[in-house]
Chain A
Amino acid sequence: MRTVEAARASVRARWPDRGAVVQWAVAAFTVALVLTPIVPVVLQSLMGRALYDGIGSFTARNYAGLVTSRTVLEAVGNSLVFGVLTTVIALVIGGGAAIAIGRTDMPGAKLFGELLLWPLYLSQLVMAFGFSIMYGPSGYVTLAAQAALGGHTPWSLYTLLGMAVVAAICEAPVTFLYCLNATRMADASLENAARVSGAGPLATLWHVTVPLMRPALVYSAMLNFTLALELLSVPLVFGSPVGIHFLSTFLYDEGIGASTPNYGLVGAAAVALLAIVTLLVWLQGRLLTNIGRFITVRGKATRPGRFPLGWLRWPVAALFALYAVFGVLAPLTGLALRGVTSFLTPLVPLWEVWTTQHLRMIVSSESYVRSVVNSVAISLFGGALATALVALVAIVTQRSPFRHARALEFVALYPRAVPGLVVGLGFLWAMIVFPPLGVLHNTIAILVIAFTMRYLPTGLGAVSPALLQVSPELDRAARVSGADWWTTSWAVSLRLLKPALFSAFALLFICFFKDYATAVFLFAPGSEVIGTTLLTFWIQGDTGPVAALAMVQVLLTFVFVYGVRFAFGVRVYG
């Protein structure tokens, strides 16, 4: 027994507070990460002069300016109308697709389900460019339609409704995924009970299945509205040219474009956006706790059957085929064609305008090549670092005796409420307010940090449910057998979390790779990413190279998404 006594002593001799050190370090880092961009924005909103002139006296003048500025009020009005329209359209598309694809015998359901998700993998900037190339005033499809209709243009994307349709196609996958999950969780016996009581398939669908989806619809409505409010790409591409301004474009224009920006007003507008989105996210949280009351998960999963559509099968499938072709494939095809033509129009055959000049240009131009390299590096290494942070935050908040675990969780999830533009602006100003951060100026490190802050909740969302599945008794067994908290976390919890961490990494990779809104304020020559390069050159009117670069991004995304799925069985979404 002497060896055991000696071993006991060695277990005891270990510094007892190693776990506490890790917990406090993770907490301190997370709090610093989340507060760094928010503090300067709030400070600036309360100051009369620019932050880099030093901290001056505080004033409420900026907020007064905000509510009296016609430009701002108009922008807020436009943002709200745009948000509502986008939400309604996204709900119809996403909810309808969830039922048709998830619950009926529509032919090709699997394929349509896959195509419908594509906009989620891709940057909304790329989608917006695609739509512009195909459906803009001189777009390929627009011109073809004009030719067929005798000069009449049946649509315009340069209206609030037009922009809302584009944004809704980008956001519909969110609704689709939430509703699909809801229908999967649904208890089949509820539907069977309706059938046995005499309801036909369609009556059951309408009276039982759809009402059961209601909580998911309400939740995704909130989410879509929030996303629409902070969306930059679509308003910038379609609104700015015709003078329709939004909160997001106001921030962008004033923060970057204006020669003498009104910093105080920009700060106040950013805080206003932050406040609105915080309120919405808080409401989502409330809704989610309430949704829990409607979901009954049975021990034995009885997968609900599929409703036979009968003769409606083919018309419904045709509807989804049209959506997939015109809503998803056409914009991407447009980009691809624009990238290899000197100009794209139905009036001239493609082979006459065929060119490799755009491709050659992005390969030979330093800033194009650098932005691709930077994007890949940020997504790979930054994504891995962010995944490590997500793992640490998850085990500290869920699996440690850390006293402030709940508070830490709240802080770590708060970036959900911080729009990408505000994150970018905040880090930009933070480098001014906190001089030590200045060394990160013009490096891709600041982008990695900003992306990590913004997508921390996304990563946690992928990891937390998985950690909940790991029985706490496994931790407790390790503790009793002689492992301290850190050894337990390392040897047991994190090991069991490996698949979830893989998924989180894949998700963060995609988020980092397609981001443009966070980066617009932070990039500099040398630290460009694909998103910022696309935006810069689009504004300069270089549509061809932009289309070619966008296709590079799309192809790399698909290689990654389908690569991890086939190689590791990791699904980025769904």
Chain B
Amino acid sequence: MADVVIESLTCRYGDVTAVDNLTLTIADGEFVTLLGPSGCGKSTTLAALAGLDVPQGGRLSVGGEIFFDAASGRNLHPEQRNCGLVFQSYALWPHMTVQANCEFPLKLRKVGAEERRERVKEALELVEMERFADRYPHQLSGGQQQRVALARTLVYRPRVLLLDEPLSNLDARLRERSRVWLSQVTRQVGLTTVYVTHDQSEALALSDRIAVMNQGRVSQLGTPQEIYDHPADPFVADFIGSSNFLEARVAEAGTGGRVVVELPDGERLAALTGKAFAKGEPVLVALRPERLGISDSPPAGSGGNVLKGRLTGRSYLGARTLYLVDVGGRPLRVESHRSIAGPDVWVEVPESTCVLFPKEGAGAA
């Protein structure tokens, strides 16, 4: 059992609180991604787990063993934790060959020469790098270095695997391939894995669960599907899939989770939501650009939400086109594979894609 339990973790650098009272439990064998913009505290959390940063408060334990406990002052050194960490820069020791890099952790564990060779071979085979055992890191490409870094980490069978943006130094195509490969390898070894990234597509593709982090806290914890379909707050909705936001007011509280909101220009939108709203309450409506429809003519007899607007700009993305539409003075981004001429356009807003959030600070205003 190597479940990771993070309780009330707090990390400060001077006046800056990088991680703020973070609590998170990761089950044995689970792949959890810490996702967020730079400075959200995700890498700090990972460093605290590895023992490279000493937190100011909270408790960390893995498989029941306490790594860090502010209350009792217990803090294991990084070398005592048996974690595996793959660095963003790979951090392969440049003066050692691939073989020596992988052997080093085993030597530290006093593993005999024969078993060492065996296990290094096994690990390199796993990442398909066995042919490069005698090379030095500088003789390898970025993608190959990344594989070796993973092998070096897996070779000593750590209790948890920590990955710090391991794909961010690769070019776009290689990144996509490595994503698939990394997913296969981690499933194969079945280690509890904590993955840190700012790339939402990596997080969605790899994770069992995602913890979206913002300003040192977890904004939302859930499966990729939950996060994408039911963002917990405007930050998550914006960070994952970069939603449009419209200000509105609740017109009909309705029943069965159906709420009708009114935009400032009087247009009305119906939304399906699990949350309860009071009539007259100011809200934010989040709309995902790729879930909106767009057409040159009024859609016939759909009966759903339709907003009329003017096309103000377009950006050809290849598979799709991003349209900028002005709806009652507010810009709206719509992604579609259709070719639209404009200038008058109609935007279809399916009820299920409208996500409502109570407008923050509305009480004060």
Q: Say if the beta carbon of A496 comes within 8 Å of chain B.
A: yes
Q: Say if the beta carbon of A313 comes within 8 Å of chain B.
A: no
**Is the Cβ of A10 less than 8 Å from the Cβ of B91?**
no
B residues near A471, Cβ cutoff 8 Å: 89, 91
**Is the Cβ of B109 less than 8 Å from the Cβ of A4?**
yes
**Is the Cβ of A482 less than 8 Å from the Cβ of B79?**
yes
Query: CA separation between A476 and B43, bound complex, in Å?
Result: 14
Q: Say if the beta carbon of A406 comes within 8 Å of chain B.
A: no
Q: Say if the beta carbon of B11 comes within 8 Å of chain A.
A: no
**Is the Cβ of A3 less than 8 Å from the Cβ of B77?**
no
Q: Say if the beta carbon of A230 comes within 8 Å of chain B.
A: no
Query: CA separation between A474 and B93, bound complex, in Å?
Result: 6
Q: A11 to nearest B CB, angstroms?
A: 6
Q: A58 to nearest B CB, angstroms?
A: 43
A10's partner among B89, B105, B110 (CB-CB below 8 A) is: B110
**Is the Cβ of A481 less than 8 Å from the Cβ of B104?**
yes
**Is the Cβ of B110 less than 8 Å from the Cβ of A481?**
no
Query: CA separation between A477 and B93, bound complex, in Å?
Result: 9
Given contacts A477-B85, A481-B152, contact A16 B77 (CB under 8 A): yes
B residues near A159, Cβ cutoff 8 Å: none
Q: Say if the beta carbon of B156 comes within 8 Å of chain A.
A: yes
Selecting from A162-170, A278-286, A314-322, A484-492, the interface stretch reads A484-492
Query: CA separation between A495 and B100, bound complex, in Å?
Result: 14
For chain B residues 141-157, which have a beta carbon within 8 Å of chain A? Answer: 152-153, 156-157
**Is the Cβ of A8 less than 8 Å from the Cβ of B109?**
yes
A residues near B91, Cβ cutoff 8 Å: 471, 473-474, 476-477
**Is the Cβ of B83 less than 8 Å from the Cβ of A480?**
yes
Q: Say if the beta carbon of B58 comes within 8 Å of chain A.
A: no
Query: CA separation between A12 and B109, bound complex, in Å?
Result: 10
**Is the Cβ of A476 less than 8 Å from the Cβ of B87?**
yes
Q: Say if the beta carbon of A28 comes within 8 Å of chain B.
A: no
B residues near A12, Cβ cutoff 8 Å: 80
CB closest chain-A residue, reference B47: A476
Q: Say if the beta carbon of B221 comes within 8 Å of chain A.
A: no
**Is the Cβ of B109 less than 8 Å from the Cβ of A480?**
no
Q: B194 to nearest A CB, angstroms?
A: 13
**Is the Cβ of B156 less than 8 Å from the Cβ of A480?**
no
**Is the Cβ of B79 less than 8 Å from the Cβ of A496?**
no
B residues near A495, Cβ cutoff 8 Å: 93, 95
**Is the Cβ of A4 less than 8 Å from the Cβ of B157?**
yes
Query: CA separation between A10 and B81, bound complex, in Å?
Result: 12
B residues near A476, Cβ cutoff 8 Å: 50, 52, 78, 85, 87, 91
Query: CA separation between A271 and B236, bound complex, in Å?
Result: 65
B residues near A482, Cβ cutoff 8 Å: 79, 82, 105, 108-109, 156
Q: Say if the beta carbon of A190 comes within 8 Å of chain B.
A: no
Residue of B81, B82, B88 contacting most chain A CB atoms (<10 Å)? B82
CB closest chain-A residue, reference B112: A3
Q: Say if the beta carbon of B84 comes within 8 Å of chain A.
A: yes
Query: CA separation between A478 and B84, bound complex, in Å?
Result: 10
For chain B residues 58-98, which have a beta carbon within 8 Å of chain A? Answer: 77-85, 87-89, 91-95
Q: Say if the beta carbon of B133 comes within 8 Å of chain A.
A: no
**Is the Cβ of A10 less than 8 Å from the Cβ of B109?**
yes
Q: B145 to nearest A CB, angstroms?
A: 12
**Is the Cβ of B77 less than 8 Å from the Cβ of A480?**
no
Q: Say if the beta carbon of B51 comes within 8 Å of chain A.
A: yes
**Is the Cβ of A479 less than 8 Å from the Cβ of B95?**
no
**Is the Cβ of A478 less than 8 Å from the Cβ of B104?**
yes
**Is the Cβ of A477 less than 8 Å from the Cβ of B87?**
yes
Q: Say if the beta carbon of A148 comes within 8 Å of chain B.
A: no
Query: CA separation between A473 and B91, bound complex, in Å?
Result: 6
Query: CA separation between A16 and B78, bound complex, in Å?
Result: 11
**Is the Cβ of A11 less than 8 Å from the Cβ of B104?**
no
A residues near B105, Cβ cutoff 8 Å: 481-482
A residues near B81, Cβ cutoff 8 Å: 480
**Is the Cβ of B156 less than 8 Å from the Cβ of A481?**
yes
**Is the Cβ of B77 less than 8 Å from the Cβ of A7?**
no
Q: Say if the beta carbon of B111 comes within 8 Å of chain A.
A: yes
CB closest chain-B residue, reference A479: B78
For chain B residues 88-131, which have a beta carbon within 8 Å of chain A? Answer: 88-89, 91-95, 104-105, 108-111, 115
B residues near A4, Cβ cutoff 8 Å: 82, 109, 156-157
B52's partner among A10, A11, A479 (CB-CB below 8 A) is: A479
A480's partner among B51, B89, B111 (CB-CB below 8 A) is: B51
Residue of A12, A471, A481 contacting most chain B CB atoms (<10 Å)? A481
**Is the Cβ of A479 less than 8 Å from the Cβ of B51?**
yes
B residues near A3, Cβ cutoff 8 Å: 111, 115
Q: A12 to nearest B CB, angstroms?
A: 5
Q: B153 to nearest A CB, angstroms?
A: 8
Given contacts A4-B109, A495-B95, contact A484 B87 (CB under 8 A): no
A residues near B152, Cβ cutoff 8 Å: 477, 481
Query: CA separation between A54 and B285, bound complex, in Å?
Result: 87
Q: A398 to nearest B CB, angstroms?
A: 16
Query: CA separation between A67 and B81, bound complex, in Å?
Result: 64
Query: CA separation between A56 and B160, bound complex, in Å?
Result: 66
Given contacts A476-B87, A478-B93, contact A484 B109 (CB under 8 A): no
Q: Say if the beta carbon of A258 comes within 8 Å of chain B.
A: no
How would residues 34 to 57 of chain B score, 1 for a CB under 8 Å from any chain A CB and 0 otherwise?
000000000000000011100000
Query: CA separation between A478 and B96, bound complex, in Å?
Result: 12
Given contacts A473-B87, A476-B87, A477-B91, contact A1 B157 (CB under 8 A): yes
Query: CA separation between A39 and B91, bound complex, in Å?
Result: 45
**Is the Cβ of B95 less than 8 Å from the Cβ of A480?**
no
How would residues 364 to 382 of chain A score, 1 for a CB under 8 Å from any chain B CB and 0 otherwise?
0000000000000000000
For chain A residues 1-50, which have a beta carbon within 8 Å of chain B? Answer: 1, 3-4, 7-8, 10-12, 16
B residues near A10, Cβ cutoff 8 Å: 109-110
B residues near A492, Cβ cutoff 8 Å: 93
Given contacts A1-B157, A481-B104, A481-B156, contact A8 B82 (CB under 8 A): yes
Given contacts A7-B109, A10-B110, A477-B87, contact A483 B79 (CB under 8 A): yes
**Is the Cβ of A479 less than 8 Å from the Cβ of B77?**
yes
**Is the Cβ of B77 less than 8 Å from the Cβ of A484?**
yes
**Is the Cβ of A496 less than 8 Å from the Cβ of B82?**
no
A residues near B78, Cβ cutoff 8 Å: 476, 479-480
**Is the Cβ of B94 less than 8 Å from the Cβ of A480?**
no
Q: B53 to nearest A CB, angstroms?
A: 10
Q: A26 to nearest B CB, angstroms?
A: 19
B residues near A487, Cβ cutoff 8 Å: 108
Q: A488 to nearest B CB, angstroms?
A: 8
Q: A502 to nearest B CB, angstroms?
A: 14
Q: B160 to nearest A CB, angstroms?
A: 11
**Is the Cβ of A496 less than 8 Å from the Cβ of B95?**
yes
A residues near B84, Cβ cutoff 8 Å: 480-481
Given contacts A473-B87, A480-B50, A481-B104, contact A7 B110 (CB under 8 A): yes
Q: B361 to nearest A CB, angstroms?
A: 41
Q: A51 to nearest B CB, angstroms?
A: 47
CB closest chain-A residue, reference B110: A10
Q: B162 to nearest A CB, angstroms?
A: 8
CB closest chain-B residue, reference A471: B89
A residues near B52, Cβ cutoff 8 Å: 476, 479-480
CB closest chain-B residue, reference A13: B80
**Is the Cβ of B109 less than 8 Å from the Cβ of A11?**
yes
Q: B92 to nearest A CB, angstroms?
A: 8
What would 15 A/B residue contacts be, using CB atoms closer than 8 Å? Answer: A1-B157, A8-B82, A16-B77, A471-B91, A473-B87, A476-B50, A479-B52, A480-B50, A480-B83, A480-B85, A481-B79, A481-B153, A482-B82, A495-B93, A495-B95
Interface, chain B (partner A; CB < 8 A): 50-52, 77-85, 87-89, 91-95, 104-105, 108-111, 115, 152-153, 156-157
Q: A483-B79, A487-B108 are in contact. List 10 more A-B contacts (CB 8 A).
A: A4-B109, A7-B110, A7-B111, A471-B91, A476-B85, A477-B87, A479-B78, A480-B81, A481-B104, A482-B156
Nearest 4 CB-CB pairs, A to B? A7-B109, A481-B105, A477-B91, A473-B91
Interface, chain A (partner B; CB < 8 A): 1, 3-4, 7-8, 10-12, 16, 471, 473-474, 476-484, 487, 491-492, 495-496
